[in-house]
């Protein structure tokens, strides 16, 4: 990676070390850093939009990012680990950092400030122009969530819980038939993607998939989410009679590939996982809130009421309004940063939706303080048993 910052011999003592790094990295291209008096005549600084419109593959080449295993994969300069995947028009770190625009990539790779990154890009790509005609360009269009749900509902209806998915359920001590019939879990084999792509484009057309925020589904285009086709469990987020979001859990592929992926329109679903089993059925009953859908499903199969969130920060306040009549809430967070983030996000969402008055009259049981193995023996098995043990440490 470019981060081999060689301090040129001439750096005067006491100078800002970052300035030294800049000189080493920028070499003769340096433009306007600490005055335009040195270096070649400076190109005008690009605007942000123009800088972000530079083809990301060209930028990655200019930054000489270290390659990582798999096509179009690089070591992520921001968290310095695998891996950053470079698409035609953006770069996404699938480990930690998420989407990185050109300016962020330069900032991370060269360890420079925002204006310094912009100047570096201006010097390397003086002819870059914004490709954005205006604020109403196609990409800025909001997702058509009705269409989104229609396409996902169609997809779930035409898939089955195949062998790979059934095996996962069995490994978790869950009943595959119930998972398929009630949970509407499905799975897709690595070799099935082309057929699914054909089925969806035949039925809806490419434009509709784009408007629905579903064009990025793994099987559309090379490297759209995982570097190669994988088998996945399809986890549905259901509302009455429709599927509002899906999340894909990878079942094959390399260990360092991201375990989960959701299409663009499925980030934080409008309802939590398990909503139809819980909403309308929770008066005077205890409700569990878990991170991860299979955790929630494990509880649901054991006749507890549970809703699941896709990630530690993907919890919406409006999820909790339908839980107003419940007798208590159990929020499950595993030890560590992710579990802590989940507890905090959930707590904030609860405060915002149900309010202080509700909270004052209801019990919120916190894992580790409340969970008692005898009283809750029915879900002290399989997956959740591990969580319980950890929480008691």
User: Which parts of this chain interact with Zn ion (CB under 5 A)?
Assistant: 76, 78-79, 93, 96-97
Smaller CB separation from Zn ion, 61 or 96: 96
Smaller CB separation from Zn ion, 74 or 219: 74
Ordered DSSP codes for 363-380: EEEPTTTS--TTTTGGGS
Smaller CB separation from Zn ion, 104 or 116: 104
Ordered DSSP codes for 149-202: HHHHHHHHHT-B--HHHHHHHHHTT--HHHHHHTS--EEE-GGGHHHHHHHHHH
β-partners of residue 365 are 330
Smaller CB separation from Zn ion, 65 or 277: 65
The C-alpha atoms of residue 70 and residue 356 are separated, in whole angstroms, by: 50
Smaller CB separation from Zn ion, 7 or 80: 80
The C-alpha atoms of residue 258 and residue 334 are separated, in whole angstroms, by: 20
Smaller CB separation from Zn ion, 108 or 266: 108
Instruction: Report, in Å, the least distance between residue 218 CB and Zn ion.
Output: 20
Instruction: Report, in Å, the least distance between residue 56 CB and Zn ion.
Output: 15
Smaller CB separation from Zn ion, 76 or 225: 76
> Rounded to 10 degrees, what is the CA torsion of 93, 96, 102, 106?
-120
Contact in structure between 42 and 36 (CB atoms under 8 Å):
yes
* Helix axes of 293-301 and 382-391: crossing angle, nearest 10 degrees: 110
> How many Cα neighbours within 13 Å face the side chain of 366?
11
Smaller CB separation from Zn ion, 73 or 346: 73
Residue 79: C-alpha distances to residues 67, 82, 93, 104 (Å): 15, 8, 9, 12
The C-alpha atoms of residue 318 and residue 349 are separated, in whole angstroms, by: 8
Instruction: Report, in Å, the least distance between residue 391 CB and Zn ion.
Output: 29
Instruction: Report, in Å, the least distance between residue 142 CB and Zn ion.
Output: 28
Query: What is the side-by-side order of every strand in the sheet holding 232-239?
Result: 186-188, 232-239, 242-250, 260-261
Smaller CB separation from Zn ion, 3 or 380: 3
Q: What are phi and psi of 233, to 5 degrees?
A: -90, 130
* DSSP H or E segment with residue 355: helix 337-361
Instruction: Report, in Å, the least distance between residue 103 CB and Zn ion.
Output: 15
Smaller CB separation from Zn ion, 67 or 143: 67
Contact in structure between 251 and 230 (CB atoms under 8 Å):
yes
**Count of positions (residues) in the chain:** 393
The C-alpha atoms of residue 359 and residue 51 are separated, in whole angstroms, by: 48
The C-alpha atoms of residue 383 and residue 297 are separated, in whole angstroms, by: 11
Ordered DSSP codes for 211-273: HTT-TTSTTSSTTSSSSS---EEEEEEEETTEEEEEEEEE-SS-TTS-SEE--GGGSS-SS-B
Smaller CB separation from Zn ion, 77 or 218: 77
């Amino acid at each position: 990676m470019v981060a081999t910052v060689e301090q040129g011999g001439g750096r005067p003592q006491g100078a800002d070390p970052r300035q030294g790094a800049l000189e080493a990295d920028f070499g003769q291209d340096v433009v306007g850093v600490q005055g335009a008096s040195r270096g070649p005549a400076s190109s005008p600084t690009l605007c942000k939009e123009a800088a972000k419109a530079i083809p990301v593959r060209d930028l990655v080449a200019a930054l000489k990012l270290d390659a990582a295993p798999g096509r179009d994969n690089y070591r992520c300069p921001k968290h310095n680990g695998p891996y950053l995947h470079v698409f035609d028009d953006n770069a996404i770190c699938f480990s930690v950092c998420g989407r990185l625009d050109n300016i962020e990539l330069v900032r991370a790779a060269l360890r420079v400030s925002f204006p310094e990154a912009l100047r570096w890009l201006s010097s390397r790509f003086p002819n870059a122009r914004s490709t954005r005609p205006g604020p109403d360009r196609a990409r800025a269009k909001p997702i058509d969530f009705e269409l989104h749900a229609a396409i996902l509902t169609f997809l779930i209806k035409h898939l089955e819980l195949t062998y790979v998915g059934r095996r996962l359920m069995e490994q978790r001590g869950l009943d595959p038939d119930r998972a398929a019939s009630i949970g509407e879990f499905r799975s897709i084999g690595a070799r099935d993607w082309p057929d699914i792509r054909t089925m969806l484009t035949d039925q809806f057309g490419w434009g509709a998939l784009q408007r629905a925020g579903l064009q990025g589904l793994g099987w559309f285009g090379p490297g759209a989410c995982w570097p190669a086709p994988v088998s996945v469990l399809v986890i549905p987020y259901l509302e009455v009679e429709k599927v509002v979001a899906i999340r894909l859990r990878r079942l094959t592929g390399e260990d360092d590939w991201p375990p989960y992926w959701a299409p663009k329109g499925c980030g934080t679903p409008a309802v939590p996982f398990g909503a139809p089993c819980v909403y309308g059925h929770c008066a005077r009953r205890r409700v569990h809130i878990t991170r991860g859908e299979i955790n929630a499903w494990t509880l649901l199969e054991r006749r507890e009421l549970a809703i699941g969130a896709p990630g530690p920060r993907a919890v919406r306040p409006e999820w909790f309004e339908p839980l107003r009549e419940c007798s208590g809430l159990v929020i499950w967070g595993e030890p560590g940063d992710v579990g802590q983030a989940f507890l905090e996000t959930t707590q904030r969402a609860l405060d915002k939706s149900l309010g202080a008055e509700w909270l004052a009259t209801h019990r919120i049981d916190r894992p580790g303080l409340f969970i008692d193995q005898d009283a809750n023996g029915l879900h002290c098995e399989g997956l959740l048993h591990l969580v319980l043990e950890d929480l008691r440490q």
